[in-house]
Amino acid sequence: MAKFNKKKDGDLPAVSTASLPDIVFMLLFFFMTVTTMKDSTLMVDNTLPNATEVKKLEKKDRVIYIYVGTPTSQYQKTFGTQPKIQLNDKFADVGDVGDFILQERAKKSQELQNVLTIALKVDKEANMGLISDIKQELRKVNALKVNYTTYEGDAFRNLQ
């Protein structure tokens, strides 16, 4: 029996930390992949409507975003409660949309300039008048490819 009783019952052995780097790297990779860079903070309420016949918006570098909605509560004092347009980090008027598109387009590389999509992220409570004005501005600067960004879901839920 003495053969099996060689255990030392004194101090505990140190836990091996050799695998710690692996775990850390694993976590690092995980967060690297799931994080998406958000380039502008939303200053408007943005509950998108639902639609079923959607197409995915691939290739983020070819998309210019325009947000429309009522300003969030902290901005309502200064900007009122009517739906506003948000371009990057600023509130803007309809007249600024054209210039904004031209500026953003100029930032993109030459071969992408003709394949840009304008993603309209519009709150479902907004009125079509504002959207029509934006569409008119987009036509003026020849940015004709638009995507009405929506959630995937039953379209009839929009009406409730």
Partner 1 sequence: MPRRGAPPEVNAGSMADIAFLLLIFFLVTTTIETDAGLDRMLPPIEPPDTDVVIKQKNIFTVNINKNGQLLVEEELIDLKNLRQAAIDFLDNGGDGTCNYCKGRKDASSSDNPTKAIISLKNDRETKYATYITVQNELVGAYNDLRNRECQRLFGRDFTEMEAEYLNPETPSEVREELKDKVKRIQDLFPQKLSEAETSTN
Shortest distance in whole angstroms from residue 69 CB to partner 1: 10
Shortest distance in whole angstroms from residue 128 CB to partner 1: 4
The smaller minimum CB distance to partner 1, of residues 3 and 77, is found at 3
DSSP for residue 63? E
Shortest distance in whole angstroms from residue 132 CB to partner 1: 4
Q: Are 115 and 123 in contact (CB under 8 A)?
A: no
Distance CA(69)–CA(47), nearest Å, equals 8
**Rg of the chain over CA atoms, in angstroms?**
26
The smaller minimum CB distance to partner 1, of residues 32 and 78, is found at 32
3 state SS of 58: coil
Shortest distance in whole angstroms from residue 26 CB to partner 1: 5
DSSP for residue 48? P
The smaller minimum CB distance to partner 1, of residues 80 and 129, is found at 129
The smaller minimum CB distance to partner 1, of residues 108 and 124, is found at 124
Shortest distance in whole angstroms from residue 100 CB to partner 1: 16
DSSP for residue 50? E
Distance CA(33)–CA(104), nearest Å, equals 27
The smaller minimum CB distance to partner 1, of residues 93 and 152, is found at 152
Residues binding partner 1 (CB under 8 A): 2, 5-8, 10, 13, 16, 18-19, 22-23, 25-26, 29-30, 33-34, 36, 49-59, 63, 117, 119, 121-129, 131-132, 135-136, 138-140, 142-150, 152, 155-156, 158-159
- To the nearest 10 degrees (0 to 180), the angle between helices 94-107 and 128-140 is 40
Token pair recorded at residue 5: 């009783």
